[in-house]
Amino acid sequence: MNSTRLPRARSRSKQLLVILSSLALSVAGAGPAVRAGASPAPAAVQVASMQDVVPVPVRTEPATGADHAITSGTAIYIQPGSAGVGDYLAALLRRSTGYPLPVKTAPSTPTDGISLLLTGADPTVGNQGYQLDVTASAVVIRANQPAGLFAGVQTLRQLLPAAVESTSTQPGPWTIPGGRIVDHPRFAYRGAHLDVARHFFTVDEVKRYVDEISLYKVNHLHLHLTDDQGWRIQINSWPRLATYGGELEVGGTPGGYYTQDQYRDIVAYAQSRHITVVPEIDMPGHTNAALASYAELNCNNVAPPRRTDIQVGYSSLCIGKDVTYRFVADVIREVAALTPGPYLHIGGDEANSTSQQDYVTFLNKVLPLVQQQGKTAMGWHDIVDATPPTSAVPQYWQTGTSHAGVQAAARRGNKILMSPANKAYLDMKYNSSTRLGLSWAGFIEVQTAYEWNPGAYLSGVGESQVFGVEAPLWSETLLNIDDIEFMAFPRLPAIAELGWSPQSTHNWSAFRQRLAAQGPRWQVMGVDFYRSSQVPWDTGNPGACSAPAWEPTAAYVGGQQVSYNDHTWTARWWTRGDTPGNNTQNVWTDNGPC
């Protein structure tokens, strides 16, 4: 079984939607994947504002009367090193504008069109930042590296009307507000994590998520490839890991795995969006799929049955057997060879069935294996119990604001990746009525996801000791890309802003307004985002709703209509208290903007 898995229980329309998304990916080339058939928001012709960009830039200087219009005569100009970004931008703009937008060699002094230059940027932008200048005659993005140009293009996208995300030609106009933006990230590492082990997601679903996170300048995708419930990467030296260990998923439905070519395809696609894939092979716990696949990995040489529940903490590789380290070495070698990025994540969390001494023994043998393959080891912060080398990156995931072991590791020189579960875990429910997700770390509304400081969250771990920020998304309850989007948006942009923008710019009142302006863009992209009541969503001025406002204390029967968050909703059956768009039984049908 490979990544073209058997269909699980989902509506025929959603299956078709995924197929159409896949077609959009192949047709769009360098442009980001969006759902075919999506329509632009009603307010698409309005000029955006430089004040609406997410993450908020370091410095913004709007200029009145300097707006720039993209027309049928616009060209995109490149220099050596910027051709990839130029082709990406051209593919994006051609779909929605219908303009030819030829990609040409840049003149010495840009006087028209859109120029992507690796010279002359403000010295503060570093390797990932950019300088964007918009005048009536020309748009110029300057950076020191292609990654900076790509970041500048994501800002340019947000300065264009939401209809620019459409897969079909739209009427425009395509006006960019005038001014200058100088921008660079707070942390070099800004990550999104996707668990493909509990539920498996196809190559095209992962690529779609790559496109969505790239819009918010996320530059690492942490793929959780293995766990108790499934093994999702082909290992040639241990083939049953994928063919047997990857056959099922949570709930017992058909799972799947990535062939090595499919994994390379994901990695290359992410690279084209300047996103580094970080593979995770969880060990010594979270290994039941491996133990079930090969009896010799068990201390008693008896393979346990495969598990498709969501329990954790019960499995462990056999620490005292030589075959364990031959197995681990083979897996690390193959995965490292497939992954050009510098990091390899070894998990290491919740090894409750491994004694402390065995755990330390295991990590002391495994961490050098990662280094031997030329990779920097990452692991959940549990690895600090084994005193890893200072090059290793512990990822903090618990909810407390104090951890002696992590604090000691930071003092020794380890940089800490911040992912506190009660702030950054995108699989936590928004509130008690959320139809997806878990709640063991608490409920995380958008404001909660935004209002914390990664550089001061953990006592004894200051800004300079923080490696970056990552937003994990575990998939125990997530079946498809729609579920991924509902849990990630709008919280992922909140975490992305904490990782990119200076702490001094973080302001909830301002952020919620900028986040609201993303709503029409997500509507065009077909993103199934959660319409949090904390955000004053801009739905393109759809007009007044004719249906009465939803009341949480009122009872509704099937067929009754209400208005909520500038949408009309129809009750499918009797309900009371279930918030439209955020209900446990999916009792409301969204009829769209008023």
Domains, the chain, with CATH or none: 59-183 (3.30.379.10), 189-525 (3.20.20.80), 555-593 (2.10.10)
One-letter-per-residue 3-state SS of 442-503 = CCCCHHHHHCCCCCCCCCCCCHHHEEEEEECCCCCCCCCHHHHHHHHCCHHHHHHHHHHCCH
Across 391-405, average pLDDT: 98
Please compute the mean of the pLDDT values over residues 445-471 and round it to a whole number: 98
Distance CA 531, CA 39 (A): 18
pTM over 0.85, yes/no: yes
The winner for highest mean pLDDT among 259-268, 542-551, 577-586 is 259-268
The pLDDT assigned to 294 comes to 98
Lowest mean pLDDT among 189-193, 234-238, 250-254, 569-573: 569-573
329 sits in the region (left: phi over 0; alpha: psi -120 to 50; else beta) called alpha
pLDDT surpasses 70 at 22: no
Residue type, 437: G
- Asked whether residue 398 carries a pLDDT value surpassing 60, the answer given is yes
Three-class DSSP labels, 328-355: HHHHHHHHHHHCCCCEEEEECCCCCCCC
The residue with greater pLDDT, 570 or 406, is 406
Residue 540, pLDDT score: 56
pLDDT of residue 543: 57
> CB within 8 A of 218, min separation 6: which ones?
190, 191, 192, 275, 492, 496, 499
The separation between CA 67 and the C-alpha centre of its own chain, rounded to angstroms, equals 32
The rounded percent of the chain whose pLDDT value lies above 70 is 90
Q: Is 305 exposed, middle or buried (0-12, 13-18, 19+ CB in 10 A)?
A: exposed
Q: Which pLDDT score is estimated for 512? A: 96
What pLDDT is stored for residue 584 in this prediction? 59
Q: Which tokens hold the place of 155?
A: 């800002």
Residue 570, pLDDT score? 86
Average pLDDT over residues 516-526: 95
Contact between 314 and 359 (Cβ < 8 Å): no
Flag whether pLDDT at 214 surpasses 80: yes
pLDDT of residue 248: 98
pLDDT at position 1 over 80? no
**pLDDT, average across residues 491-512:** 98
Phi-psi region of 29 (alpha: psi -120 to 50; beta: other; left: phi over 0): left
Residue 544 has a pLDDT of 64
* The pLDDT of residue 46: 58
Give yes or no for residue 494 having a pLDDT over 70.
yes
Residue 308 · residue 252 · CB < 8 Å = yes
Active site residue 350: yes
3-state helix, strand, coil in the chain (%, to 5): 35, 20, 50
User: What's the CA gap between 446 and 427, in Å, rounded?
Assistant: 13
Q: Which residues of 69-106 are buried (b: 16+ CB within 10 A; e: fewer)?
A: ebeeebbbbbeeebebbbbbbbbbbbbbbebebebeeb
Query: Which one from 350, 445, 470, 476 is the annotated catalytic residue?
Result: 350
Please tell me the predicted confidence (pLDDT) of residue 268: 98
| Confidence label for 220 from pLDDT (cuts 50, 70 and 90) | very high
| Mean pLDDT of the region 561-579 | 84
As a whole number of angstroms, the distance between CA 458 and CA 411 comes to: 13
Strands 276-283 and 343-347: parallel
- Work out the pLDDT band at 24, boundaries 50, 70, 90: very low
Q: Is the pLDDT of residue 588 over 60?
A: yes
**Residue 578: pLDDT band by 50, 70, 90 thresholds?**
confident
Cβ atoms 501, 58 nearer than 8 A: yes
| Adjacent-strand bridge partners of 59 | 182
CA dihedral sign, ordered 219, 209, 339, 143: negative
Token pair in block for residue 353: 């069935």
Are the C-beta atoms of 562 and 577 separated by less than 8 Å? Answer: no
| Cβ pair 566, 539 in contact under 8 A | yes
Average pLDDT, the chain: 91
Cα–Cα distance, 226 to 224 (Å, whole number)? 6
Sign of the torsion formed by the C-alpha atoms of 529, 531, 534 and 538: positive
pLDDT tens-digit profile of 134-178? Answer: 999 999 999 999 999 999 999 999 999 999 999 999 999 999 999
Please tell me whether residue 395 adopts helix, strand or coil conformation.
strand
Gyration radius from the chain CA atoms: 24
Instruction: Look up residue 193 and give its DSSP letter.
Output: E
Residue 398 · residue 407 · CB < 8 Å: no
Going by C-alpha positions, the residue among 158, 126, 57, 193 that lies closest to residue 500 is 57
